[in-house]
Chain A
Amino acid sequence: GAVVSQHPSWVICKSGTSVKIECRSLDFQATTMFWYRQFPKQSLMLMATSNEGSKATYEQGVEKDKFLINHASLTLSTLTVTSAHPEDSSFYICSARVSGQYNEQFFGPGTRLTVL
């Protein structure tokens, strides 16, 4: 149990285009999901906390108008990178907690974004 999926697993796009990444909890409900970004040889940096039915909470330095997050259901959160640029190329990973249970987070497999 407690499986999180992400789609797509990798994507290549042209500079200036938008890319949507989906994060799904397959066998549990998640009122809260988290989006992380990981550059090569670096740690996972929290971008935002996605709350079902409400606005996401963004970390300092993360542009909310550039990284649009929607958490429309208890099993799906989406991250849209708008007007992507090469510096947005990174590994994006989502995670989720089982609603009502605390602490342990379950990670998606990640999405490798390359912006040309």
Chain B
Amino acid sequence: GENVEQHPSTLSVQEGDSAVIKCTYSDSASNYFPWYKQELGKRPQLIIDIRSNVGEKKDQRIAVTLNKTAKHFSLHITETQPEDSAVYFCAASHHQAGTALIFGKGTTLSVSS
């Protein structure tokens, strides 16, 4: 089955700096890669996703890149703000309707002002 590795486990940056979180996946059939932000005690919130037919997607300060050959994808947050502090999870799945998301272990991002 799918296995998703995520690094780093913790990341501390200064406000205004960029943050990068990286994930690798094992199943070459996976074609959907979402990123979630989770605050304590809350459900995961989808912040951006990418499908395998594109290499990059951007939404304001957030971007995701995908390298299918190397089976890795990354989350880039620019101009970080204190409210970006949270736990971020990457995940992977493939397009069959019955396939669940498999999550990475998470990255705790701390943005200090």
Chain A interface residues toward B at CB < 8 A: 31-32, 34, 42-46, 49, 51, 91, 93, 95, 97, 99-100, 102-105, 107-110, 112
Nearest-CB distance from A35 to chain B (Å)? 9
Nearest-CB distance from B32 to chain A (Å)? 4
Residues 77-95 of B, flagged 1 when their CB comes within 8 A of A and 0 if not, give 0000000000001000101
- The answer to whether A104 touches B49, judged by C-beta atoms less than 8 angstroms apart, is yes
Contacts of A46 in B (CB 8 A): 100-102
Q: Could you tell me how many residues of chain B have their Cβ less than 8 Å away from some Cβ of chain A?
A: 22
Q: Once the chains are docked, how many angstroms separate the CA of A70 from the CA of B105?
A: 28
Chain B interface residues toward A at CB < 8 A: 32, 34, 41-44, 46, 49, 51, 89, 93, 95-98, 100-106
When the two chains form the complex, which single residue of B34, B41, B96, B102 contacts A104, counting CB atoms closer than 8 Å? B34
Nearest-CB distance from A73 to chain B (Å)? 17
Extra pairs beyond A49-B100, A95-B100, A103-B34 (9, CB < 8 Å): A42-B106, A43-B103, A43-B104, A46-B101, A49-B98, A93-B44, A105-B34, A105-B101, A107-B44
Chain A contact residues: helix, strand, loop or mixed: loop
- The answer to whether B44 touches A44, judged by C-beta atoms less than 8 angstroms apart, is yes
Q: Which residue of A lies closest to B44 (CB)?
A: A107
- The answer to whether B43 touches A97, judged by C-beta atoms less than 8 angstroms apart, is no
- The answer to whether A34 touches B100, judged by C-beta atoms less than 8 angstroms apart, is yes
Q: Once the chains are docked, how many angstroms separate the CA of A99 from the CA of B101?
A: 16
- The answer to whether A43 touches B89, judged by C-beta atoms less than 8 angstroms apart, is yes
Contacts of B101 in A (CB 8 A): 34, 46, 95, 105
